[in-house]
């Protein structure tokens, strides 16, 4: 029975990067509104496109990088920035082209996950942690 539980838990994790249309479809079905926020990255040579999903003041962002290595760079820069903001990584993993971390401080929940050239990111008040985890799970990240 334990083997089945471990196997099924691994099934939920996405192995390929989500597409923009998949992201939009999943978050809109969950009641989020989507908007393109690529203009916030005008100075970055790493970002191809960015879509924000917003609901009840919660924002989850999909960043589509220009390449797998650019996605890795965005992920690493984000993790470094969050840790420099006084947060230490609570959970972190890296397997192949998938990396993720989550940080919970006394007031903030940070989540970042990278698969290939995509990064899913949230920086929310701690009370929104469960809502972030729920949509991230639906996205497979």
In the chain, the percentage of residues whose pLDDT exceeds 90 is 68
pLDDT of residue 57: 93
pLDDT digits (tens, 9 = 90+) for 30-61: 999 999 999 998 888 999 999 999 999 999 99
* Domain range annotation of the chain: 14-139
Written as one string, the DSSP assignment of the chain is -HHHHHHHHHHTS--SPPPHHHHHHHHHHTT-EEEE-GGGGTT-SSEEEEEEEEETTEEEEEEEESSHHHHHHHHHHHHHHHHHTT---SEEEEETTEEEEEEE-SSEEEEEEEETTEEEEEEEEGGGHHHHHHHHHHHT-
Top-tier CATH class for 14-139: alpha beta
The average confidence (pLDDT) of the chain is 87
pLDDT surpassing 80 at residue 12 = no
């Amino acid at each position: 029975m334990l083997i089945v539980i471990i196997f099924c838990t691994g099934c939920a994790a996405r192995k390929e990067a989500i597409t923009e249309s998949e992201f939009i479809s999943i978050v809109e079905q969950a009641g989020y509104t989507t908007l393109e926020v690529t203009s916030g990255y005008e100075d970055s040579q790493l970002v191809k496109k960015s879509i924000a999903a917003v609901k009840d003041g919660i924002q989850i962002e999909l960043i589509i990088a220009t390449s797998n290595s650019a996605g890795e760079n965005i992920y690493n820069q984000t993790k470094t920035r969050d840790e420099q903001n006084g947060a230490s990584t609570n959970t972190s993993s890296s397997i192949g082209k998938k990396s993720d971390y989550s940080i919970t401080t006394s007031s903030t929940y940070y989540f970042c996950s990278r698969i290939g050239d995509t990064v899913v990111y949230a920086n929310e008040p701690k009370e929104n942690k469960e809502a972030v985890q729920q949509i991230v799970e639906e996205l497979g990240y």
